[in-house]
Structure 1
Amino acid sequence: MAGQTINDRLLAARHSLAGQGLAKSVCKATTEELIGPKKKHLDYLVHCTNEPNVSIPHLANLLLERTQNTNWVVVYKGLITTHHILAYGNERFIQYLASSNSSFQLNSFLDKGGVQGAVGARIGYDMSPFIRRYAKYLNEKALSYRTCAFDFCKLKRGKEEGSLRVMTAEKLLKTLPVLQAQLDSLLEFDCTANDLTNGVINMCFMLLFRDLIRLFACYNDGIINLLEKYFDMNKKQCRDALDLYKKFLTRMDRVGEFLKVAENVGIDKGDLPDLTKAPSSLLDALEQHLATLEGRKGSAANTPTQSAK
């Protein structure tokens, strides 16, 4: 694939003449060139999010504008650049995306033209579903922030300080469904190693992989906390918690499929989380406890002390 197109160069020149550094960097990060956005442009845009005199709404709108392009490469790179800034930039950026009405409107995106002729048209057509799914995930990521006021991918994780390990039962039961929805949206990207055919989708996959590792670690923390609190919960909480745990088990299988793709494209096995499942006897014990709680009324005559609880 050749370097930047004439369109890319004209656009960059126009912004240079106007002295619009931010717009120029966004354009350079989202060229029609079939490679991922260049590191130097991404680094500059991340740096801009930490500068108090830089307008975050202006930056977000420039990126949204690029995703309205008809060329799939430009659109995809606009999404990747946004995701990179969400991952590494100042929190002001995700705060703005979460609080504004701006979102990626790409549910029906389809590039039939592609890049450079018939082969390019085929690539554009093949990449379009992944662009639609990726945009949906980024919208869901912003929605999670709007709902919970934090980015799951940036939360502290682990036994001692993990945010979801120390949450109250009430907050946990409200937070885990939001995390599940974001994880589901990521897993719906649903690519195979054979789909990762160019530098653009490859970069997208690596950003998704990075998010998945962090989301799953938070998810795991939350489920451990949920199980530790389960036997002290009331009947309704137990019912909700059991439902969340069952959903966690099914999602573990889907996470495993995503990680197989990561392994197939060369990600080190040591970087992948352990997906060893708890014994099925645990699920049996949880179900038995809930059945006992739900059966109390029936056994009230025999166990008056229980009915008084």
Structure 2
Amino acid sequence: MESITLNSGARMPQLGIGVYQVRSADCGPALASAFAAGYRSVDTANAYLNERAVGEAIRNSGLPREDVFLTSKLWPPNYPYEKAVAAIDGTLRRLATDYVDLLLLHQQYGDYNGAWRAMEEAVEAGKVRALGVSNFDERRFTDLTDHASIVPAVNQVECHPYHQQRELKEFLRSFGTVLEAWYPLGHADRRLLTEPLFAELARKHGKSPVQVILRWHIQEGNIAIPRSTNPSHIAANIDIFDFVLAPEEVASIGALDKGKPFFQMPDLLGRILLPAARINFDKRQR
């Protein structure tokens, strides 16, 4: 497994497993398969409503807590400072851990500056090891850093060969912030996975198109968190560290960039998230 040193000094595996839309009942078997295959990074969130199951899976794995890089995220209803303080403790309680390795702001809506202040205090208290954001554009990222003492270690956004986020990556580089890719496989979009280029490279390297795409992420310096509950897919996704794409092959994949996401984040969430801010996700998980 290859890893990246974050601007916090923490080492984070470049490949992890995500549990977005994974039911609590399925988290245990999926993460057991992941740990057996060699994964040591898990990405969850308040809004996924499966933190408790993730924490249980980590404990059942028998792995030392320090061997698992654990990420969670705060949801905008808990962004005001006082709620964020309580939400962080709620996440730790559900995960049954003394700390999380990385805590993210899930969206760029609401009082994210207030939440960030609570997150910085959590770092000082030893409850969180590193901080980051998810789905932040350049304008709101700049606003956050203008008010922050700790610069985000990662920005977790949609990224795949059809949406490579080159401008955002260049912007983040000046902050020492790493891009972390959700939808690293384009949400398994058939058009992407059946691109002739990936079939060609898969034949050449004795791999699958999915493995070629994940290897591309690694060589691009991205962190990737593909989601799966299928044991064979989980094992295959991590089997990408025994081959290297040549520079011209990486360049060919770069030419596939369409600059268009599958998930239209700003338009959709601008209408839905803020009216839903009254929902207390912590209460739903007690």
Q: Which has the higher contact order (CA 8 A, sep 6+)?
A: 2
Higher helix share: 1
Q: Same fold (TM over 0.5)?
A: no
Higher share of residues assigned strand: 2
